Structure 1
Amino acid sequence: MTEYDTGIEPITSASGISAVPSSSRYVPSTLVSDDEITVIDNKKINKQILKKPSAAYFNVGYTTWPKREAGNAASVALAAFSLTTFVLGLYLAQAKNIKIINIAIAPAIFFGGLIQFLAGVGLFLIGGAGNTFAATVFTSYGAFWLSFGSIYILNFGIIEAYGDDAEQFSYAIGFFLLGWSIFTFFMFLVTFKSTWPMLILFFTLDFGIFMLSAGFIAPNEKCVRGGGILLFISSLFGT
C-alpha cells in the first residue's frame, strides 16, 4: 500500500511544513498543521483516517486507530465515575434531606474506586491506543474514590484520629478536596479541543469540587450543597 493510499506521508522539506527532528524525545500527538493535516510521529496524516476526539473513548485529540483491538475500557470507567458522582452529588445536595453518607461509600470503594482504577490501568496497558489522557484521568479518580471512601471506613481510623474536633476534620477534608480541584482544573484545560459534553463535565466537576472545598474550610452548608448540585450535573454529562 502506498503512502498516498494510507493518508500518511513523511514530512520533507518540500512539504512546506517544518519537520520534527527524528532525535526529538517528544512529539505532540495533536500538532495540527492545518484543517486537514495533522502531524504524528514525524509524519503528515490526513485527519479523515484518524480517530476523532470522542467522549466515548475519552480522547481529547486526534489519534491513530489501535493496531490491537481491545474492549473499550473507557466506557466502564466513565460509567463508574458518573454513577458514583451521581450518588455523592445527591447526598451532598441533601436531596430528600439525607445527611448520612454511608450509602455513597459502597460505590465509592467498589465501582467508582476499584473498577475505575482497573479500567484506567487497562487503558495504559492494552486498550488506550495512545490515549494517555483517559488512562491518567481514570486511574487518578479511581484512586480518589478509594481514598475518599476509606476516610469513612472505621477500621482505617481516619475519622477517629480527629476525636471530637469536628472543626479540624472539616478543614482537613477541605484541603483534601482543594488539591483535587487543582488537579481537575488542569484536566479541564486539556479538554478545550475535545467535545462539548466532556468540556462541561470537567467544568462542573472542577467548580463543584472547589465549592465543596470552600464549604468545608469556611465552613458553609450552602456552599457544600451547591457543590453537590454541580457534581450531580457533572455526572449527567458522563452517562
Structure 2
Amino acid sequence: MSNEQALTRFSNPAPLGLAGFALTTWLLSMINAGWFTGDAMNMVLAVAMAYGGTAQMIAGVMELPRGNTFGATAFVSYGAFWWSFSLFVLFLHDKVPAAFVGWYLCMWGVFTFYMWLGTLRAARALQLVFLALWITFFLLAAGEWTGMSGLHVAGGYVGLITALFAFYLSAAEIINDAHKRVVLPIGAPGAG
C-alpha cells in the first residue's frame, strides 16, 4: 500500500481542530476586545476545555498517522494552550504577576511565529491564521507588561480576525471536500 493510499484511509482532522480553535478564540477575543466583561469567562472556559482543548488534541493525534508533523504539533499544542489557560483562570489567576502572564503570552507568540514560518509554503488561508495569531499573542503580552488596556483591546480585535480566518479555513476544507471541488478558495498553489 502506498503512502497516498494509506493517507486516504484517514479522514482529515484539520477542520475539527480549526473549528475548535476558531470558536474558542472568538469567544475569548470578544472579552479581550471589550465586547463582554469577565462575567462571560465561564463560558469561554467550558468551551476551552471541551472544544478548544479536547477537540484540538483529538485532531492533533489524528494527524499523526497521516504523517502531518505540522498539524499534530499545532493542534496538540494549541489544545494544551486552552487547557493551561483554563487551569490558570480557574485556579491561579490571582497568584501570578501580570509580567509573568506577559511572558506566558510572549512565549506562545514565539511558538506561533515559528509555526507561521512553517506555513509559508502552505495555503494562504493557513498563513493568515498563524500571522494574525502571533500578532495577537504579542499584543496581549505587551498589554500585560505595560498595563495599557489599548494593547489588550487591540489583541482582542486581532484575535477576532484570527478566529475568522480559522473558521474560513475549516469551512473551506469541509465544503470543498463535500463538493469535490474548490468552492471556497484557500490560496494554495493550483488549488484555487
Alignment TM-score > 0.5, same fold: yes
Distance 1:131 1:66, change over 3 A: farther
Does 1:99 pair with 2:38? Answer: yes
**Distance in 2 between residues matched to 1:184 and 1:159, nearest whole Å:** 23
Q: Say yes or no: does 1:171 pair with 2:99.
A: yes
The CA RMSD measured in Å over matched residues stands at: 1.7
Distance 1:92 1:160 in 2: 18
Gapped runs of 5+ residues in structure 2?
168-192
Flag the structure with more relative contact order, 1 or 2, with Cα contacts below 8 A and sequence separation at least 6: 2
User: Partners in 2 of 1:174 and 1:66 — Cα distance?
Assistant: 45
Structure 1 segments, 4+ long, off by >4 Å, are none
Alignment of structure 1 residues 1-239 onto 2, 5 Å: 65-68=4-7, 69-95=9-35, 97-100=36-39, 101-124=41-64, 126=65, 128=66, 130-154=67-91, 158-162=92-96, 168=97, 170-239=98-167
Indicate the structure (1 or 2) with the bigger Cα radius of gyration.
1
Aligned pair count reads: 164
More strand by share: 1
Question: Aligned-pair distance for 1:160?
Answer: 4.7
Q: Percent same amino acid among aligned pairs? A: 33
- Structure 1 residue runs without a partner (length 5+): 1-5, 7-63, 163-167
- Separation in 2 of the partners of 1:77 and 1:66? 23
Q: How far apart are residue 65 of structure 1 and its match? A: 2.6
Deviation at 1:102, TM superposition (A): 2.5
Q: CA deviation at 1:73?
A: 1.5
Post-superposition CA distance 1:50-79 (Å, at most 9, x none): xxxxxxxxxxxxxx6351512221121111
Q: 1:66 to 1:212 in 2, by over 3 A?
A: farther
Using the alignment, how far apart are the partners of 2:93 and 2:85 within structure 1? 12
Specify the SS of the correspondent of 1:193. Answer: coil
